[in-house]
Structure 1
Amino acid sequence: MTSIADLPVGRTLGDEARAGVHWGVAHALPTLVLRRAAGRGDLQARLIRVGSMGTEEVFDLVEQIRSSGPLYRSRLGHVATSHAAVRHVLTSDDFRTGLPTADGPLGRISRWSAPSTLHPVEPPSLLVTEPPDHTRYRKLVTRVFTMRAVERLRERTEEIASDLLDRMGPRAGRPVDLVEAYCAALPVTVIAEILGVPESDRGQVLDFGQAAAPSLDLGLGFRRYRSVNRALTRFDAWLGEHLDHLRRNPGDDLLSQLVAVREDGQGLSETELRATAGLVLAAGFETTVNLLGNGIALLHAHPGERARVDADPSLWANVVEETLRLDPPVLLTGRMAVRDTTLADQPVRAGAMVTAILGGANRDPAVFEDPLRFDVGRSNARDHISFSAGRHHCLGAQLARMEGEVGLRAIWQRYPDLRLEPGARRRETRILRGFQALPATLGPGSR
């Protein structure tokens, strides 16, 4: 099969001009608005700008916003931080995905100038479509990604984790980047096997995910914007070839089943299939990379909690839930009000944007006792909203939970003396939250 790197981008001068227009409307203009609002003390604008630095100041700002009440009114819209308000935004028919400018002049310019390749936050992506299309897509995909199918993968995931840890063994006395060697390698191998991606292409799929992760963000610089679009273009072309290959040579992987699946005689169109497969492939490992890195860091910082899990291994599943709650792999999401409504007893006008801070809802003291404490035995840790809620609840939630449990348990049981070293770096993304690098010394291994 042709590799992602070998495929031509194929952009013309006209494409470059349109790209400049699209970047200006979709990123440069919002950046200017954000900069001005942040300079005037707007907490939401400051949160978005600080989010790109990957610092812990993000949660300090979340708590400042929370202190103003369950619904903060900013120059950009509304911000929900309470558990109840965030859940309401995500589950109510009064809100949907999309932007208020979509039908205005800026929206028309953005659509005219947008790249023709598929994008994770553009239709027909499951992230942003609404019923009836969303209902049809999700029904077809859900038949393939069932809990039973995920549990059948548990033993294979344990084998992959063990193999990766074996490979890391000879480096036990030297620093190793856990993101590169383990946190990324585990989920990308699992999702690649699920989707029938040949081993020779998996490194490039990982490179794609890392290059395209900022595509969810607002306010990209032009160089980063072009880099993201090149990655999306190459991935789109590679994905088309991969799907053609599976049609000619179907396997027992789940993507082959998705290609063939039908509901009432109708399956996914080519565009819908590419969008869904691309989203599942990228989202199927990007967020799990963050979950594993965040979990390792939390357990390292709390040796007392790690000792509790050592004494009671049945807590490993709850370790995953508490990690998702306290340091979620996705910090926030957004919705638009489709009609005049109320949220947290405050009026919200039709067309207004509401930013739902998942990381804020997960630290709501009205729901979680001592919410800033990492507690592996927390009885209601699973009440977090890190996988969203309602019709856009994460399709891969069960897969992420299983991989998180297997991955965290395996590395700490194999290397109980693992020590994180200076040099850890957070990702410079506003929506996805995780580590770009996590250097560690493993210490002597233990079976």
Structure 2
Amino acid sequence: MSGVYVTADYELCRLVLRDRRFSVVPPFHPALPKPVRWLVTKTDLGLPNLGEPPSMLVTDPPDHTRYRRLVGQAFSPKAIATLEKRIAEVADDLVERLESNPRPDLIGDFSAQLPVTIIAEILGLPADMHSTLLKWGDSGAPLLERGLSWTTYRHAIEDLAEVKQYFDQHLDGLTAEPRDDVLSMLVRNDELTRREQVANAALLLDAGFLTTVNMLGNGIVLLTNHPDQLELLAAQPGLWPNAVEEILRYDGPVRMTGRVANCDVDIADQRIESGNLVLLSLAGANSDPAVFPDPRKFDVTRENAAEHLAFSSGIHGCLGARLARLEGTIALRALFDRYPNLSLDGPPVPHPLRNLHAYRCMPVELSVD
């Protein structure tokens, strides 16, 4: 029998995420709903699904180690630091363009545009692909959910076929004429099959902007709803990096993840048998009062805000966490420096997802001082 355990305790979540006795959840795990497992068996056409191997997101060592080692250099502290000027240029340009829009949508016109521009440049993808990349990301995001409708699933699979075709052709071109970019690193390595190359190229693309779009949108809502915190940031701009950490803690883009016990594990006075599933509430852990006093208070000065688990932890900790933090700090500061009296023009429209917390549309009124 396969059991399912759930925890929102910070220390337990962190322990399980970092414990090698637990692995990522395979798509055929018996604790998953039967319709989900049936869909995988019927529709796995070798497409680059983020939620299925050989995506780095759902593989364990040694494969995970190989994949991450190949692309890790592009997301090192040194590599990300070199992007600061370019991120600021893109953010300033987007902020400037908002003024000419009578009713801007801060998701489509701002939050989505910055991270997709930067990850496309990192991967060496052309600027005229941005709208297509965003479409693919939007349709593929539900594949990380459980319980999605058949219509949503089929739409995602159809778009994944486009993703596969595009990256097959693009990687063929890079094989013939390599460049100095991350995807060229993938094709130069003869350890990887083409399916592994395509799957992880697609993962780098989606992971490079999806959660950052959500983080920026969530942050805008939080800051506009807490004008006292905006006043603090205006007076003390050095708090912006910590404000991003508090946004991630208070309203992170991913609510839950899971792990499977590889062997019998005794943890927190509980025997978890091999094969049992442990669901980890990241949102709950980030609101654990034992770690974050008065957790439902949004406080950009919170001293330990950066201890959140919004980017997971352990070997599967988000590869692009440094990039997301830098983009969040630069973009949100640029937006509110230019429009300190920005206000939401009605309630933002939430994305119809359960595990990924995001907004689909966010109309605003701008006020230029």
- Bin for the TM-score computed over the shorter chain: over 0.9
Deviations 1:324-374 (A, max 9, x none): 000001111011112221232222222211110111111100001111111
- Matched to 1:244, the amino acid is D
- Matched to 1:151, the amino acid is A
After TM superposition, the structure 1 = structure 2 runs for residues 48-87 of structure 1, keeping only pairs within 5 Å, are: 77-87=4-14
CA distance in 1 between counterparts of 2:174 and 2:360 reads 33
Deviation at 1:93, TM superposition (A): 1.9
Moved over 6 A (4+): none
CA distance in 1 between counterparts of 2:27 and 2:90 reads 45
Deviation at 1:103, TM superposition (A): 7.6
Confirm whether residue 113 of structure 1 aligns to residue 42 of structure 2: yes
CA distance in 2 between counterparts of 1:129 and 1:254 reads 20
Partner secondary structure for residue 75 of structure 2: coil
CA distance in 1 between counterparts of 2:321 and 2:27 reads 29
**TM-score, normalized by length of structure 1?**
0.78
After TM superposition, the structure 1 = structure 2 runs for residues 77-226 of structure 1, keeping only pairs within 5 Å, are: 77-99=4-26, 101-102=28-29, 112-116=41-45, 117-171=47-101, 174-226=102-154
Alpha carbons of 1:200 and 1:100: their partners in 2 closer, same or farther (altered >3 Å)? closer
Deviation at 1:242, TM superposition (A): 1.7
CA distance in 2 between counterparts of 1:306 and 1:326 reads 16
The answer as to whether partners of 2:124 and 2:182 remain within 8 angstroms in 1 is yes
CA distance in 2 between counterparts of 1:295 and 1:313 reads 16
Deviation at 1:138, TM superposition (A): 1.1
The answer as to whether partners of 1:81 and 1:357 remain within 8 angstroms in 2 is yes
CA distance in 2 between counterparts of 1:252 and 1:101 reads 38
The answer as to whether partners of 1:83 and 1:360 remain within 8 angstroms in 2 is yes
Match of 1:401 among 322, 325, 338: 325
Partner secondary structure for residue 78 of structure 1: strand
CA distance in 2 between counterparts of 1:228 and 1:416 reads 38
Partner secondary structure for residue 100 of structure 2: helix
Partner secondary structure for residue 121 of structure 1: coil
CA distance in 1 between counterparts of 2:158 and 2:227 reads 43
Confirm whether residue 271 of structure 1 aligns to residue 195 of structure 2: yes
- Matched to 1:394, the amino acid is C
- Matched to 2:56, the amino acid is L
The answer as to whether partners of 1:144 and 1:258 remain within 8 angstroms in 2 is no
CA distance in 2 between counterparts of 1:285 and 1:142 reads 17
CA distance in 2 between counterparts of 1:353 and 1:268 reads 30
The answer as to whether partners of 1:100 and 1:336 remain within 8 angstroms in 2 is no
- Matched to 2:65, the amino acid is T
Partner secondary structure for residue 278 of structure 2: strand
Quote the residue 1:227 is aligned against. 155
After TM superposition, the structure 1 = structure 2 runs for residues 251-290 of structure 1, keeping only pairs within 5 Å, are: 251-260=179-188, 262=189, 266-290=190-214
Deviation at 1:439, TM superposition (A): 1.1
The two structures, once aligned, show a CA RMSD in angstroms of: 2.0
Deviation at 1:109, TM superposition (A): 5.6
Q: Percent identity?
A: 43
Partner secondary structure for residue 400 of structure 1: helix
Unaligned stretches of 5+ in structure 1? 1-74
Partner secondary structure for residue 214 of structure 1: helix
* Greater C-alpha radius of gyration: 1
The answer as to whether partners of 1:423 and 1:437 remain within 8 angstroms in 2 is no
After TM superposition, the structure 1 = structure 2 runs for residues 302-313 of structure 1, keeping only pairs within 5 Å, are: 302-313=226-237
Alpha carbons of 1:101 and 1:239: their partners in 2 closer, same or farther (altered >3 Å)? closer
CA distance in 1 between counterparts of 2:30 and 2:344 reads 49
Unaligned stretches of 5+ in structure 2? none
- Matched to 2:42, the amino acid is S
Partner secondary structure for residue 371 of structure 1: coil
Quote the residue 2:295 is aligned against. 371
Quote the residue 1:334 is aligned against. 258
Deviation at 1:250, TM superposition (A): 3.2
The answer as to whether partners of 1:335 and 1:354 remain within 8 angstroms in 2 is yes
Deviation at 1:414, TM superposition (A): 1.0
Deviation at 1:210, TM superposition (A): 0.6
Deviation at 1:237, TM superposition (A): 0.9
The answer as to whether partners of 2:211 and 2:253 remain within 8 angstroms in 1 is yes
Quote the residue 1:8 is aligned against. none
Partner secondary structure for residue 347 of structure 1: strand
**TM-score, normalized by length of structure 2?**
0.94
The answer as to whether partners of 1:192 and 1:281 remain within 8 angstroms in 2 is yes
Confirm whether residue 351 of structure 1 aligns to residue 275 of structure 2: yes
CA distance in 2 between counterparts of 1:81 and 1:108 reads 26
Match of 2:307 among 383, 401, 425: 383
